Amino acid sequence: MGLYNTIDTSARCTNCCWSGNMAVQFKYGNVHDHEYKVGNRVIWGRPQIGDPKERRVVVQGIAGCPTCDKDNFFDILIIDSVIKDVMPQSGLYDYRGSGYVELGSDSEAGIRK
Ligand SMILES: [Zn+2]
């Protein structure tokens, strides 16, 4: 497992449909058990994953449902190091490897405004 950060956000479980606040785990920026909310700026510093020069990224998030314990997966949109949105995983991004995907400036597909 290792270290990760969390985002406290409201979400709905894909398994049991429980809806409420989940602590979505992700690995981006300084990885040291930071607790964020949507709108916060990612803290940088070693040990870190990613690069503060990356403008637009989607990061894989995971949260266990507090009711049924099933893992729920998310796409976390981060623009200029600010956490913009946490969405149910679309399946559009390949997180194998680093656990996040850098978006080109013209790669708007799949991103909810
Ligand atoms: Zn559940």
88 CA from centroid of ligand 1 (Å)? 14
Q: 97 or 85: which carries more pLDDT confidence?
A: 85
Is the pTM value of this prediction over 0.95? no
DSSP letter at 43?
P
Q: How confident is the model at residue 108 (pLDDT cuts 50, 70, 90)?
A: low
So what's the pLDDT on residue 1? 45
pLDDT digits (tens, 9 = 90+) for 11-63: 999 999 999 999 999 999 999 999 999 999 999 999 999 999 999 999 999 99
Task: Specify the 3-state DSSP secondary structure of 13.
Answer: coil
Count of helix runs (H) and strand runs (E) in the chain: 0, 9
23 CA from centroid of ligand 1 (Å)? 13
> How many CA within 13 A on the CB side of residue 32?
9
64 CA from centroid of ligand 1 (Å)? 8
Among 7, 102, 16, smallest CA distance to 65 is for: 16
Calpha distance 73→64 (Å, rounded): 9
Distances from the Cα of 59 to the Cαs of 19, 28, 53, 68, in angstroms?
22, 7, 15, 24
